[in-house]
Amino acid sequence: MFHLGWFTTFSNPPWNHAWAGTEGRDWPRGRAHVEFVQALERACFDYVMLEDSSMVSDAYEGSSRADLAHGLYAPKHDPVVLAPLLAAATSRIGIIATASTSFYPPYLLARRFATLDHVSHGRAGWNVVTSSEDRAAQNFGLDGLLPHDERYERADEFVDLVERLWESWEPDALALDRDRGVHVDHTKVHTLDFRGKFHASRGPLNLQRPPQGRPVLCQAGGSPRGRDLAARHADTVLAMAAGPEQMKEFRDDVRARATAAGRDPDDVKVMFVTSPVLADTVEEAQARAEVARTPDPVKIEVALAHMSAVTEIDFSAFDLDAPLGDLQTNGHRTTLAQFLRHGRTVREAAMGWLTGNAHYVGTPETVADAMGEDMAAVGGDGYLITGNIGRRFVSGITDGLVPALQRRGLTRSEYTHETFRDNLLEF
């Protein structure tokens, strides 16, 4: 069996097509996301992961025009605020929210996610990011981000401190002893006096240990430094790969790093991002995929504006049909590398990157077979679906593909455990 998650964000669902309804205007209330996550829970997804960023990008053309016209990085709401709303409307699915180690104080983050783990009855997760945009840093009073590897060094210390804060209360510190009049046993709550290169905190937290011991940790760094961070701390890792060979290479590498860090590699679930194209027949699905792959000016601008935002390289300045050179960034290095692999020219790379996650095209039955074969070749651990959260696309996954996977015994058909972590580590 393998796991299923969904990668999305607290921003606008598709708003400019015939099936959009009023969601383009109504999404800020969170109702569309509640209904979406309820559909995932009915299909027994392990988790939903809510991506985030903290800026209006003007990297493309030196203007916010493309970002705002296409709704790329804004408008976007805070996923940490959405998480308890999703938790209240569900009972088993894990809810992962993104928060940056570059902008949060460690104590505040530790307290916030511990609280979320309590109110969700042990279903909270934290997606650990270092952020990748100077424009985001400038919203927090900084001139720019630290260099890439230093951000990860800082993040490593940050996560270590947060984990210690979650452990500052022993599991049985809450006494509730009426006879002695003792609410909490003070001998089981411990200060840290943590002082590192980047962070310091006296501790302890002022709330008891989270129900899961610690919320589930998620990480998406694909660079060597990012993989090290994931191997040391993450329970689930997001990965982008073009096919089974790349998938296996990535998973084997992360597992080897986890072993070197003294962890059981089976405790690190690597989830591969994909956006299946489904239809009633293989031919219809292939036709849909071909439409998605057909270049047009809007698609190319969306791809290049996205890439400009996360790398802070202005791709509007490039000749679309000129060869791509050797580009460097202090932002998303792995995303840039993926982009550069998708084509020889800017135009080819843009279209290849925009459709690069659609590894699986066909009917629910043929896609289920292909996903099962690939996962067997890779060795595990699961897939992270991405794509718009409009009802039409979501239903194709939850009511078409997932039942086909369940019939083959490839994914769960019920939740066995109460907490997110226990379900994630079940197999």
Dihedral angle sign, alpha carbons of residues 46, 51, 371, 402: positive
pLDDT of residue 395: 97
For residue 133, CA distances in Å to 10, 166, 179, 308 come to: 19, 29, 56, 10
pLDDT of residue 191: 98
d(CA 124, CA 114): 8
pLDDT of residue 226: 92
Report the run of H or E that residue 55 belongs to, with start and end: none
Question: What's the whole-number mean pLDDT along residues 295-322?
Answer: 92
pLDDT of residue 233: 97
pLDDT of residue 358: 65
- Which has the minimum average pLDDT: 9-23, 62-76, 261-275, 372-386? 9-23
d(CA 288, CA 16): 18
Q: Which domains does the chain have, with CATH numbers?
A: 3-141+210-282+357-424 (3.20.20.30)
Q: Tell me if the bond preceding 14 is cis, omega within 30° of 0.
A: no
Distant-in-sequence, close-in-space partners of 59: CB < 8 Å, separation ≥ 6: 133, 135, 305, 308, 309, 311, 312, 313, 314
158-175: pLDDT as tens digits: 999 999 999 999 999 999
CA 95, 123, 424 angle in degrees (round to 5)? 90
Query: Residue 310 pLDDT > 70, yes or no?
Result: yes
376-390: pLDDT as tens digits: 999 999 999 998 898
Question: What's the whole-number mean pLDDT along residues 5-32?
Answer: 85
Given a contact cutoff of 8 angstroms between Cβ atoms, the answer to whether 158 and 151 are in contact is no
Query: Residue 391 pLDDT > 70, yes or no?
Result: yes
Given a contact cutoff of 8 angstroms between Cβ atoms, the answer to whether 427 and 1 are in contact is yes
45-54: pLDDT as tens digits: 999 999 999 9
Name the pLDDT band for 292 (thresholds 50, 70, 90): confident
pTM: 0.95
**What letter would DSSP give residue 134?**
H
